[in-house]
Structure 1
Amino acid sequence: MEADYIVVGTGSAGSVLANRLSADPATSVVVLEAGTRDKNKFIHIPAAFAKLFRSEVDWNYSTEPQKQLDGREIYWPRGKMLGGSSSMNAMMWVRGFAADYDEWGALAGEEWDFAHVSKYFAKIEAGPLVISPQRSPRSSTAAWLTAVRECGYDVESPNCDAPEGFCEALVTQRRGARWSTADAYLKPALRRPNLTLQTSATATRVLFDGRRAVGVEFSQLGQRRVVRARREVVLAGGAVNSPQLLMLSGIGDREQLGTHGIGVVADVPEVGRNLMDHLAVPMGFDVPDDTLTGAEKPVELLNYLIRRRGMLTSNVGEGYGFLRSRPELDVPDLELIFAPAPFFDEGIGDPYDRHAVVMGPILVKPRSRGSITLRSADPLDKPIIDPQYLSDDAGEDRAALMSGLQISARIARSPALGGVIGKIARPVGATSLNDETFETAINECSQTLYHPVGTCRMGGDDASVVDPQLRVRGVDGLRVADASVMPAIVRGHTHAPSVLIGERASDFIRRG
């Protein structure tokens, strides 16, 4: 096979690239997807996304034991199908703050500041991605929003440039069903004769002629195959897979590559470093009724199939808001989230047989940094994922989460939730909302919010992995365009900025 462009991955950015690059009928594009087509029925039913965890459409990663979290390995689901993680996420469209993108502009050039990227968000939100209000939110979500207002916080519209309050989440759904980037961008483009999709195609190495990327080697159904690129190779595998593929291809820290017997194409020490993620601490509470506990009843399935209404349209994380862990901060560093469901034990524990809700803080501006490194030179070996949660020397990350848990407890005690919130369900055995319980919650209940970024960071400095136009330093004909290039983590959720990165990368490439 041969094409002008090769795109590796069909997730939040990769599907966008496939669509935009193939829009020119004179340009040929081959897209490689390690997973299969998105035929699993649970992909399209919003409330069923946790049923995809540890299935055939999940990369099913786990971190190294986390010292600051009682030595636990944290489960990291990542989508392995058309649409990538946009086909198994909670569908929340949360762009982040204008200040986040101004920070990108300071680190990677003014083309990434909010004044420039806001135009792209306007384009994305006008279609083909469908972003809609929730169809059937639970009344307990409304009660939670009333409670935050009673505690002195504002309730405002979602996706303000500088959020200072709470809201009901907007979701990437079309008529009550998930609307992934595969639905919005990739599938319409597959009708074009100049776009070729290869599924079950795991990229194993970028091929080079000297220092120029000229193709990709991939494994498909047990066979080694090669596709050649006349112009460029674009990696869009995400914050885990893109740095892994760069290192397997000889781009990374010379010393680390040498330990695995990998020849060096370009010595780029920061590949795999600068890993950031949003850590969440969901506390659970028993409630009398009106949660998603009964979402699998036949009446709810009928309601969904016939009307696209009811519990199965829920994205689970129905409400959220931003606030400061300390009043002197210029910009919020915490998000509080509310889910009218017993979403316990990272979504993979035993079913909870009673009504319950989850609420708690998310650390959206962590100071801790981790890494992705190779386990071996075998492309099918899972990499070593070590986010080093709460490892900052000053302990500010843990202190911020403690503050967020204290605020969550105050909301739980508010009059609006007086007849709703019952006994503590998580952490197990906790009986009162005090600092001892909060420390236990951090150690025993914290989990990823599925937002790893930064492992191929872009920047104007020579040490960055990619330049401001997402070209990999030290080689030619190779770019990275996904969440891994974010030079700083956004306070929003990473789906929206990843779609943005796909749009921007397409423009950079088409401009030459």
Structure 2
Amino acid sequence: MADWDYIIVGAGTAGCVLANRLSADGRTRVLLLEAGQRDNYHWVHIPVGYLYCMGNPRTDWMMRTAEEPGLNGRSLAYPRGKVLGGCSSINGMIYMRGQAADYDNWAQMGNRGWGWDDVLPYFRKSEDHHGGETDLHGEGGEWKVARQRLSWDILNAVQDAAAERGILPTDDFNAGTNEGSGFFEVNQKGGVRWNTSKAFLRPAMERPNLRVVTEAETEAVMMEGRRAVGVRYRHKGQVVEARAGREVLLAAGAINSPKLLELSGIGQADRLHDLGIAVAHDSPGVGENLQDHLQIRTVFRIENAVTLNQKANSLWGKAGMALDYALRRSGPLSMAPSQFGLFTKSDPSLETPDLEYHVQPLSTDKLGDPLHPFPAITMSVCNLRPDSVGDCHIATRDLAVQPDIRLNYLSAERDRMVAAISVEQVRHIMAAEALKPYAPQELLPGPAMTTREEILQGVGDIATTIFHPVGTCKMGGDPLAVVDDQLRVHGVAGLRVVDASVMPKIVSGNTASPVIMIAEKAADMIRAG
């Protein structure tokens, strides 16, 4: 007898959904393993607490990228959630699906059942939208979608400036096309972060057929021939083996799922041989196809407006923010990292937007630094569909060593062109009539950088990840595909991958809610056998 019917590795954005759905009948035995701790850290739940969760070993894997040539040789901190809820416990809380064309493209690549019309019901299934049930949105689901609880005059002025440049307001970024401007909807309830642990896992943890083990780091998938039969993990100084009668489900994320496959002997045969790992299955695509959104953080000093900079640099301002949150769950402590967004095109000939702006009423020299002592805003812009592709692979059999993460940002010529165009576009918006009362002055990348070559040099100094790695176990039928369109690992029975790593192409927006959709759809496919 196997110990469990299903073993899920990773209690993150996808794993919490899987644990809920697969244990719902009360009979199916499910083991959920999480390397991190429980999500009882107070900064997980206060929205502004992302500042104290990223870069904190209590909640973050503390990864770094390799030195990136396209970023002038810089290595970036690469936060990944190591806590119940995973990245949904430390992310920006923005509810975003991407574009209908993203999913239709997945289907056109040979992934049956992944077009927009196929996936929309799964987005709606989980959703509890503040606007109620419509053809596009769901009500009563586990995943709360709320309006933000504060506003800033300067952001309203940015919206007016964008409209002057042809980027018009929209009521809904999630209707299949996200073109336009508006305030982001967020995954919160009453001004408190709503992660997948609260949404999906906690209601299921009362079920006797579900066991959740935290601080359990999986070493490898156990194989018998070409079949996955369980996992081996470390817990409280002991090595434990657990067997799965039906399937092992990897939901460890775009960096750790390929790491586990490689440690288990599933990956590029030559690479595994060199590390002394017995090859269970030669899968050339494991760890390849790494994609991410690179954000260019342009900063503008302003006048005649209040931003978070003044509040955070004042004792009275801090006290006011704390009181506002304590009494009303509102104010700056309730805010997502980005409140306002724009979706537009780098080239008018494009069918759908390829640029996303995250606009923030605050500024720093770089992420993690103190806020500037003067009022300023940040206009972050990212290329939604980059051509640059990287990879991540283990360099040792030592479980404690992170993989080598190489994004190859701005290695594709088109991405370099779009980066330069996007900075020019930011400047065009900031020069609009609506913003003249605020006298914006460019600080980053700096007004002295005028040629595209100079702009790209400046971009290399300031651009950073927006935390959306995907694609390293992509689905499809081509030689580099790791899973099929049922998310089953090619060449291995009893093993699936269910997380952002299966995306064949990155979506045109934030990635958390698409991962929930993937897990919802996967749960139905898994139950169907």
| TM-score w.r.t. length of structure 2 | 0.93
Q: Using the alignment, how far apart are the partners of 2:376 and 2:238 within structure 1?
A: 48
CA offsets, 1:9-32, max 9 Å, x none?
A: 111111100100010111011100
From 103, 115, 129, give the equivalent of 2:105.
103
SS in 1 for 2:217: strand
Partner of 1:169: 184
Contact 1:343/1:357 (<8 A) preserved: no
Q: Which amino acid aligns with 1:47?
A: V
SS in 2 for 1:382: coil
Contact 2:30/2:209 (<8 A) preserved: yes
Q: How does 1:495-506 map to 2 (within 5 A)?
A: 495-506=512-523
Larger mean Cα displacement after TM superposition, 463-472 or 297-306? 297-306
Change (3 A) 1:242 1:501: same
Partner of 2:135: none
Partner of 1:3: 4
Partner of 1:32: 33
Partner of 1:305: 326
Change (3 A) 1:226 1:434: same
Q: Using the alignment, how far apart are the partners of 1:134 and 1:441 within structure 2?
A: 33
Change (3 A) 1:344 1:88: farther
Contact 2:72/2:457 (<8 A) preserved: no
Residue 420 (structure 1) shift? 2.3
1:453 aligns with 2:470: yes
1:145 aligns with 2:159: yes
Aligned positions, number: 507
Larger mean Cα displacement after TM superposition, 80-89 or 52-61? 52-61
Partner of 2:396: 376
Partner of 1:159: 174
Larger mean Cα displacement after TM superposition, 458-467 or 443-452? 458-467
Partner of 2:375: 355
Partner of 2:297: 282
Larger mean Cα displacement after TM superposition, 288-297 or 156-165? 288-297
Contact 2:471/2:502 (<8 A) preserved: yes
Residue 140 (structure 1) shift? 1.7
CA offsets, 1:331-354, max 9 Å, x none?
A: 222112211122542x22344333
Q: Using the alignment, how far apart are the partners of 1:353 and 1:230 within structure 2?
A: 59
Partner of 2:425: 407
Partner of 2:248: 233
Q: Using the alignment, how far apart are the partners of 1:412 and 1:201 within structure 2?
A: 49
Residue 421 (structure 1) shift? 4.7
Q: How does 1:34-113 map to 2 (within 5 A)?
A: 34-56=35-57, 57-113=59-115
Q: How does 1:215-230 map to 2 (within 5 A)?
A: 215-230=230-245
Q: Which amino acid aligns with 1:115?
A: D
CA offsets, 1:279-329, max 9 Å, x none?
A: 110111223442223257122112112211111111021111222211222
1:130 aligns with 2:140: no
RMSD: 1.5
Q: Using the alignment, how far apart are the partners of 1:277 and 1:209 within structure 2?
A: 35
1:202 aligns with 2:222: no
Contact 1:285/1:421 (<8 A) preserved: no
CA offsets, 1:176-219, max 9 Å, x none?
A: 11001111001111111111011011111000111111111111
1:416 aligns with 2:434: yes
Q: Which amino acid aligns with 2:513?
A: A
SS in 2 for 1:502: helix
Q: Using the alignment, how far apart are the partners of 1:315 and 1:434 within structure 2?
A: 32
1:321 aligns with 2:342: yes
From 434, 450, 453, give the equivalent of 2:450.
434
Partner of 1:469: 486
Q: Using the alignment, how far apart are the partners of 1:218 and 1:287 within structure 2?
A: 53
Contact 1:108/1:467 (<8 A) preserved: no
Contact 2:5/2:30 (<8 A) preserved: yes
Q: Which amino acid aligns with 1:134?
A: Q
Larger mean Cα displacement after TM superposition, 359-368 or 457-466? 457-466
SS in 1 for 2:428: helix
Residue 433 (structure 1) shift? 6.6
Larger mean Cα displacement after TM superposition, 124-133 or 246-255? 124-133
Q: Using the alignment, how far apart are the partners of 1:291 and 1:143 within structure 2?
A: 13
1:332 aligns with 2:353: yes
Residue 273 (structure 1) shift? 0.2
Contact 1:46/1:312 (<8 A) preserved: yes
Q: Which amino acid aligns with 1:128?
A: E
From 489, 495, 498, give the equivalent of 1:478.
495
Q: Which amino acid aligns with 1:373?
A: H
Q: Using the alignment, how far apart are the partners of 1:384 and 1:463 within structure 2?
A: 19
Larger mean Cα displacement after TM superposition, 319-328 or 401-410? 319-328
Q: Using the alignment, how far apart are the partners of 1:197 and 1:111 within structure 2?
A: 31
Q: Using the alignment, how far apart are the partners of 1:421 and 1:379 within structure 2?
A: 52
CA offsets, 1:131-173, max 9 Å, x none?
A: 0111112222211111101222111122121222111101000
Q: Which amino acid aligns with 2:25?
A: D
SS in 2 for 1:418: helix
Partner of 2:200: 185
Residue 432 (structure 1) shift? 4.7
Larger mean Cα displacement after TM superposition, 200-209 or 120-129? 120-129
Residue 431 (structure 1) shift? 4.2
Larger mean Cα displacement after TM superposition, 377-386 or 460-469? 460-469
Q: Unaligned 5+ residue runs, structure 1?
A: none
Q: Using the alignment, how far apart are the partners of 1:498 and 1:344 within structure 2?
A: 31
Q: Unaligned 5+ residue runs, structure 2?
A: 128-138
1:292 aligns with 2:323: no
Q: Using the alignment, how far apart are the partners of 1:343 and 1:103 within structure 2?
A: 37
| TM-score w.r.t. length of structure 1 | 0.96
Larger mean Cα displacement after TM superposition, 152-161 or 495-504? 152-161
Change (3 A) 1:123 1:206: same
Larger mean Cα displacement after TM superposition, 288-297 or 33-42? 288-297
SS in 1 for 2:343: strand
Change (3 A) 1:503 1:330: same
